Amino acid sequence: MEEIGFFERYGLTRVINVSGTMTALGASLVVPEAIRAGAEMQSHFVRIDELQAKASGVIARMTGAEAGFVAACSAAGMSQSIAGCMTGTNLNRIERLPDTDGLCNEVIVQAGHLINYGAPVGQSIRLTGARVVPLGTAALVNFYNLEDSINEQTVAALYVVSHHVVQEGQIPLEDFISVCKERRVPVVVDMASEYDLRGPVELGADVVIYSSHKFLGGPTGGIVAGRRELVRAAYLQNKGICRSMKVGKEGIAGTIAALDAWEKRDHASAYDREQAHVNYWLNVLRDVEGVRLDIHQDWTGNPIARLKVSVDPEKCGLFAWELADRLSGGEPSIQVRDDLIEHGYFFLDPCNLLPGEEVVVGQRIVDELTLARARGDGRRYSLSARRRRSLASLLRWPDLP
């Protein structure tokens, strides 16, 4: 008798992910090497400190850092790194956190970097007991904002590299590091969803944080890399507030395997394969009335080309967010990248597609637009109504619609 699969057993919705490496969708397709390593480790006991020391060697080789370790996720890595800057390796201070009485506890961050990536960046800092000091305003941070904010209470400076941050008016990473180094302030760089594993270390960043479950295709986890003494201090937070953020043996082993696989990956071929999906969508959608298509290169310089799909509500008969919702509500559910959808467009990201899924996506967009015109049932709800509905649904969990 054929065994029923997990999706069928629990009635889970099948998802085609053209949104990207989004945590809410499971982030990425895990590479076979990481699956095998995690499965093997599950059947054995291991000294976690020894396993993490082996991970440190692999992380150092891949990033050019002095040392590293695997965290529960990049958000946990951020908290651990900030905590390490405050306590060093003093175990008594580590056990005291989040009580920072008597400790330097100010963390400076450009205002445009205090984003929400699923939770507020500032909260990951405040969890440690540190105090967030915003620099400048959301769209303009001057050098004097940075220079004048550093004082005897400044324990670290956080820099976020992400498509979510404000892209204009921020101090560039190289200059940010230079100013902080002159004043002996450690720089922690959040690179959760970035390809570049070596750049920030080469620029002089003290600690750099990556996600192991996004572009690397590893299990859920974070990677903390940097100067040995700060990495050690961050790792020791597992004896304190970050005990609740611990990563399992399978996560560490899977991350090591994902890093090894990344080093051997044919990145040029992967890009060509992804670009072929984008070209397919261009061909299928280029003659659809009311739809404008543009190739969009990644905001932060990752080697990804996405398709930007702009929807004219008059000609298409529905708003861009209505089209996104109809794609999401079908079977399978198609999840587009819609974080800028108030501008009337969304993106199709090709990096997590299984073979043949690009065809399903293209055809479904055509079908949904054809049905909307025939039924005349679009342009029925605003973006604000959509957001309110989404929040109401969240607050009803686990009672799903």
Residue scoring higher pLDDT (119 or 4): 119
Topology adopted by domain 6-23+267-396: Aspartate Aminotransferase, domain 1 (3.90.1150)
Model pLDDT for residues 66-95, shown as the tens digit of each residue:
999 999 999 999 999 999 999 999 999 999
DSSP H or E segment with residue 57:
helix 48-63
> What is the pLDDT, as a whole number, of residue 2?
59
Model pLDDT for residues 98-137, shown as the tens digit of each residue:
999 999 999 999 999 999 988 999 999 999 999 999 999 9
The angle formed by the CA atoms of residues 179, 69 and 351, to the nearest 5 degrees, is: 85
pLDDT band at 193 (very low <50, low <70, confident <90, very high): confident
The proportion of the chain whose per-residue pLDDT surpasses 90, expressed as a percent, equals 83
Q: Are 180 and 206 in contact (CB under 8 A)?
A: no
β strands within 213-358, DSSP E: 222-226, 291-297, 305-311, 333-336, 345-348
Model pLDDT for residues 368-387, shown as the tens digit of each residue:
999 999 999 989 999 999 99
> What is the pLDDT, as a whole number, of residue 22?
86
> What is the pLDDT, as a whole number, of residue 23?
84
Q: Are 245 and 72 in contact (CB under 8 A)?
A: yes
> What is the pLDDT, as a whole number, of residue 21?
85
> What is the pLDDT, as a whole number, of residue 27?
84
Model pLDDT for residues 259-271, shown as the tens digit of each residue:
999 999 988 998 9
User: How far is Cα 367 from Cα 107, in angstroms, rounded to an integer?
Assistant: 50
User: How far is Cα 56 from Cα 69, in angstroms, rounded to an integer?
Assistant: 5
Q: Are 112 and 172 in contact (CB under 8 A)?
A: no
pLDDT band at 194 (very low <50, low <70, confident <90, very high): confident
> What is the pLDDT, as a whole number, of residue 327?
96
> What is the pLDDT, as a whole number, of residue 163?
85
> What is the pLDDT, as a whole number, of residue 45?
96
Contacts of 187 (CB under 8 A, 6+ apart): 156, 157, 158, 159, 176, 177, 180, 181, 204, 205, 206, 207
Please say if the pLDDT value at position 1 is more than 60: no
User: How far is Cα 310 from Cα 290, in angstroms, rounded to an integer?
Assistant: 8
Does CATH number 3.60.20.10 belong to domain 31-264? no
Model pLDDT for residues 23-39, shown as the tens digit of each residue:
888 888 999 999 999 99
The two counts, helices (H) then strands (E), for the chain are 16, 12
Give me the mean pLDDT over the 345-365 stretch.
95
DSSP 317-333: SS-HHHHHHHHHHSSSE
> What is the pLDDT, as a whole number, of residue 24?
85
Give me the mean pLDDT over the 304-310 stretch.
94
The angle formed by the CA atoms of residues 302, 305 and 309, to the nearest 5 degrees, is: 130
- C-alpha dist (Å) from residue 82 to 116, 171, 195: 18, 21, 23
Give the domain ranges of the chain.
6-23+267-396, 31-264
What mean pLDDT value characterizes the chain?
94
pLDDT band at 149 (very low <50, low <70, confident <90, very high): very high
> What is the pLDDT, as a whole number, of residue 61?
96
Please say if the pLDDT value at position 332 is more than 80: yes
> What is the pLDDT, as a whole number, of residue 167?
87
Q: Which residue has the tokens 């690179």?
A: 191
